Amino acid sequence: MYMKFLSRIFSAMAGPRPIVLSGPSGAGKSTLLKKLLKEYDGVFGFSISHTTRKPRQGEEDGKDYYYVSRETMQAGIANGEFIESAEFSGNMYGTSKAAVQDVQAKNLICILDIDMQGVMNIKKTDLKPIYITILPPSLEALEKRLRDRKTESEESLQKRLDAARVDMELSKQPDIFDVSIVNDDLENAYRQLKDALIAEITKVQNAKKS
Ligand SMILES: Nc1ncnc2c1ncn2[C@@H]1O[C@H](COP(=O)(O)OP(=O)(O)OP(=O)(O)O)[C@@H](O)[C@H]1O
Ligand SMILES: Nc1nc2c(ncn2[C@@H]2O[C@H](COP(=O)(O)O)[C@@H](O)[C@H]2O)c(=O)[nH]1
């Protein structure tokens, strides 16, 4: 009883658990994330990654990503500034220690939107997040979403689809993700995402009240 009480106190002091959101490019991670950040203002904080890819129309430096050169990114990695990094579809991506600390310092739930290589690398750290994968209903639906998004060259699109095939196979392993959500109907997928996060959301909301 007393131990249970102590463990509750320690887990509250440790702050909310971070969330890793992964899944094939085009599955709908950003779409779901935007809904979550909008509905739960002041509860979640997005871990802003670094990337060497060029900004898409409407994306902002310091909001969607920190857009950097390959040289800057490599120097940062060599300097130990990143908790994980990966090469994806011809570009580098990485989560800096500062990106996660910025969110955690505000006692918010830190959300990392990262690829499968990132997931495997985060598993070697002491971050201990909840791992969630967002999957498309099929590869065909994924390809249509990526084509309709009109953000990728044919080369980048094919690389993303190749990575998606591997990710979708790996995601079937029972020990990688805590929660697996098929984003077919958006509202249904969003409901499942909220259900998976409700314990952490409540923790932050209660901490704000006290
Ligand atoms: N349930 C859905 N049904 C139909 N289209 C969807 C659904 N969810 C998202 N989309 C659309 O699919 C496209 C890809 O979604 P989104 O950009 O959120 O994917 P992502 O997983 O974040 O991709 P990336 O990893 O490349 O950033 C977008 O144009 C989005 O509007
Ligand atoms: N390992 C990491 N993967 C990341 C990071 N930031 C984003 N990503 C993943 O890259 C792909 C492509 O993203 P896009 O914005 O170019 O479409 C996607 O799967 C993201 O989840 C990161 O810091 N580390």
pLDDT in tens, 130-139: 999 999 999 9
Task: State yes or no: pLDDT of 174 exceeds 80.
Answer: yes
Tell me which residue of 157, 103, 107, 112 sits closest to 131, measured CA to CA.
Answer: 112
Q: Is 53 a catalytic residue?
A: no
pTM for this prediction:
0.94
pLDDT value of residue 14: 65
Cα–Cα distance, 181 to 206 (Å, whole number):
27
Second CATH level (architecture) for the domain 17-200:
3-Layer(aba) Sandwich (3.40)
Question: Looking at the predicted structure, is the pLDDT value of residue 35 above 50?
Answer: yes
ipTM: 0.98
Closest ligand to the CA of 64: 2
Counting from 1 in the atom list of ligand 1, the atom nearest the Cα of 183 is: 1
CA–CA dist 209, 43 (Å, integer): 12
Q: Is 160 a catalytic residue?
A: yes
Pocket test for ligand 1, best of 21, 139, 143, 145 (most atoms within 8 A of CB): 145
Distance between CA 114 and CA 93 in Å, rounded?
8
Q: Whose CA is nearest to atom 14 of ligand 1?
A: 26
pLDDT digits (tens, 9 = 90+) for 120-170: 999 999 999 999 999 999 999 999 999 999 999 999 999 999 999 999 999
Distance (Å, whole) CA 113 – CA 102: 16
In this predicted structure, what is the pLDDT of residue 10? Answer: 46
What are the domain boundaries of the chain?
17-200
Residues 6+ apart with CB under 8 A from 96: 49, 50, 66, 76, 81, 82, 83
Q: Among 35, 149, 184, which is best to mutate for testing ligand 1, by the most ligand atoms less than 8 A from CB?
A: 149
Alpha-carbon separation of residue 167 from 11, 16, 43, 51, 144 (angstroms):
32, 27, 29, 20, 18
What pLDDT does 12 receive? 47
Mean pLDDT for the chain overall: 93
What backbone torsions phi and psi does residue 87 show, to the nearest 5 degrees? -100, 125
Calculate how far, in angstroms, residue 209's C-alpha sits from the geometric centre of ligand 1.
34
- Please give the structure tokens belonging to residue 177: 């993700």
State pLDDT tens for residues 63-111. Answer: 999 999 999 999 999 999 999 999 999 999 999 999 999 999 999 999 9
> Strand pairing of 19-22 and 109-113?
parallel
* Annotated catalytic residue 149: yes
Decide if pLDDT at 115 tops 90.
yes
Spatial neighbors of 198 by CB under 8 A, at least 6 apart, are none
